[in-house]
Amino acid sequence: MPQPFPTRQIGPFTVSAIGLGCMNLSHGYLPRPGTADAERLLLHALDSGITFFDTAALYGFGRNEELLGRTLMHRRGEFTLASKCVLAEIDGKRGLDGSPEAIARVLEDSLRRLRVDHIDLYYMHRLDPKVPVEESVGALVRAKEAGKIGAIGLSEMSAATIRRAHAVHPIAAVQTEYSPWTRNPEIAVLDSCAQLGIGFVAFSPLGRGLLAGNVSGAGIGEGDLRADIPRFQGDHLAANLALYEKMRALAAEAGCTPAQLCLAWLLSRGPHIVPIPGTTNIAHLDEDLAALSLDLSDDVLAAVDALFPAGAAAGARYSRMAQAQAGTETFPDEELV
């Protein structure tokens, strides 16, 4: 039976305090696992007590949803399922379409791939600047009224956009990159979520693997999305690996791993925050979940803050194209390209 992990509230859902980001089982990072290994990891996560699984139409252009559909849906009542629209495949390429028609079409495709008739939490993956957020949210409200989704979420959007969307219909969750080296949600989004009663889901909580010790000075190979991110290139990468070494030393002194320290730090930032690390490795997953049993002192958590003030990471957190699609606030001196 799953362990009685600590839980947190995301909108109407009570979920494990750490969820699973499923993207890199099918998309983005290399190497990708084989089918059997990916299925094994998903089932291990569920058996271990994770009750919050996050996917998207974009991931593998539907292959990630298909993976979850065939692997987990015979145990559908045991977990909260989240997926996303707006950012998806368009004519064989990554594309952005927040029109009500596109949202309805992508949702139907996701339901089919996931082998369900209802998705618990459905996010706008990004804001389409060509479509008022009110129109996109309206399409999701209609999907909710039809019983096809249970709650509405937003991903990588500003506090102002969140408030506009929330005025149309209560938003259950906001998802944004958040880790010690990516502090942008602290500018305005975290406070807005707390004020409005919105759950906050932290993706890439381990710095896209770098803060877990999974990136070397040799850099990232071609075909991995991180190869296009400035933080993983040249002098920026060297500077960020130097930061990681300081994090590793701090974790060793605290008696945990750097990944566990990252997750414990995130969980300490507010009761409405749920990190969703992703991994292709069962041992790494178990390591991440062990963060839930840590009891770290305020001094250790403060030391993480001191090590990673805003702007500590070298280089932009997105490629030029991806940054153009992210609405989250930036720091005044943040490098954007």
Alpha helices in the chain (DSSP H): 35-48, 63-72, 100-114, 133-145, 159-168, 189-196, 234-254, 258-268, 282-289, 298-307, 320-324
Q: Which residues on adjacent β-strands are paired with residue 223? A: none
Buried b (16+ CB within 10 A) or exposed e, 49-75: bbbbbbbbbbbbbbbbbbbbbebbeee
Cβ-contact 22, 28 below 8 angstroms: no
| Pairing between β-strand 80-85 and β-strand 52-54 as defined by DSSP bridges | parallel
The question of whether 59 is a catalytic residue gets the answer: yes
| Residue of 29, 59, 122, 178 marked active site | 59
Interatomic CA distance for residues 285 and 20, integer angstroms? 9
Backbone angles phi, psi at 229, to 5 degrees: -95, 125
Residues with catalytic function: 59
